[in-house]
Amino acid sequence: MSEAIDSNGSPSSGKVIHQDPRLITHLTPRQEEKLRSYLDEKLSNLESDERTHKLGPLPRLLSRLSPLLQIILQIPPFYPFGSLRTSYLLTLTSVIPIYITSLPLLSSGHRTKDEAQDEASRVIRGVLYLLKEVEKGWLAVLKGDGWIPPHNTWGIKMDVTIGGQAVEVDDESKFQVDITEKIRLKSIILSSRARVLAWARPYGNFDTAGSALPNESDGTTPIPEMQEGNVVTTNSGGWEEEVVAMWAQLLDVLSHDLSQSHGPIGRKVGNPVGG
């Protein structure tokens, strides 16, 4: 966990299932203020760098976005902190695809074709790792689950921290994402899927089933000429299908939830912590 949240507390009422010492269940007012300032600064810096074209290259961007995702997901799932988690997660989710697609897969620079293909494979996999972790995190948030980060550095792959785990909690005051927020999230998902697919098309083959990651072909298909700052991957593979299916499980859950929503919009279950 980042220095933004540096200690743990416990809710004064309710039962937590699968209690883990890394599960953050409470924030003091000072901790919440510090967390807000930390996240606001990081998000503002990203926005500024996007405007001034300083986000790239992609691996560096992924290494900035990934820790923010893990921090936000660790915000307690209980009232009143759950609304803070949902708000920041919506903001981050909306900008991740925008920032990723503002950059080429590879930055400019001299590379052999083999080196370019190897790097393209690593970078596209890092992008997919991050997108999958976003989906996994949202599935936890929609259920009102807590979140614990991956152990040490084993969860860092391709500049992305992955492997955080949802923790089921059973508490009267755990937060529920309301209908308005679910509708907003669904809209973000639909626009983001279209954006990422359009960005990825030049790098892969989306017309042939059964693709492989760049550099995982049988070696018989010639690699197209590389343009500076841009690599066109060939011999399509599973990664293309992952792009097409981006956030599909999350979209299914949201569509089901919204179809079942007939009552008034609600913010939480039960009473506030300590109430």
Q: What mean pLDDT comes out for the span 135-141?
A: 97
Give residue 36's pLDDT band: very low, low, confident or very high (50, 70, 90).
Answer: very high
98 in a domain, yes or no? yes
Specify the higher pLDDT residue, 113 or 154: 113
Number of domains in the chain: 1
Per-residue model confidence as pLDDT tens digits over 72-125: 999 999 988 999 999 999 999 999 999 999 999 887 777 788 888 888 888 999
The predicted model scores a pTM of 0.80
Per-residue model confidence as pLDDT tens digits over 214-257: 433 333 333 333 333 344 443 445 788 899 999 999 999 999 99
94 in a domain, yes or no? yes
166 in a domain, yes or no? yes
Neighbouring C-beta atoms of residue 12, cutoff 10 Å: 11
Integer Cα distance of 55 and 102 in angstroms:
9
Neighbouring C-beta atoms of residue 29, cutoff 10 Å: 7
Q: How confident is the model at residue 60, as a pLDDT?
A: 94
> Is the CA virtual torsion 190, 256, 261, 274 positive or negative?
negative
Give the domain range for residue 56: 29-202+243-259
Residue 120: which of 211, 54, 59 has the closest Cα? 59
Q: How confident is the model at residue 103, as a pLDDT?
A: 95
99 in a domain, yes or no? yes
Give CA angle at 99 (147, 149), nearest 5°: 15
Q: What mean pLDDT comes out for the span 13-36?
A: 78
Q: Residue 156: is its pLDDT beyond 90?
A: no
Integer Cα distance of 125 and 131 in angstroms:
10
For residues 103 and 56, the answer to whether their CB atoms sit within 8 Å is yes
Q: What mean pLDDT comes out for the span 54-70?
A: 94
216 in a domain, yes or no? no
Q: Residue 183: is its pLDDT beyond 90?
A: yes
68 in a domain, yes or no? yes
Average pLDDT taken over every residue of the chain: 79
DSSP 230: B
Q: How confident is the model at residue 199, as a pLDDT?
A: 93
Specify the higher pLDDT residue, 220 or 206: 206
Q: Residue 172: is its pLDDT beyond 50?
A: yes
Specify the higher pLDDT residue, 228 or 188: 188
9 in a domain, yes or no? no
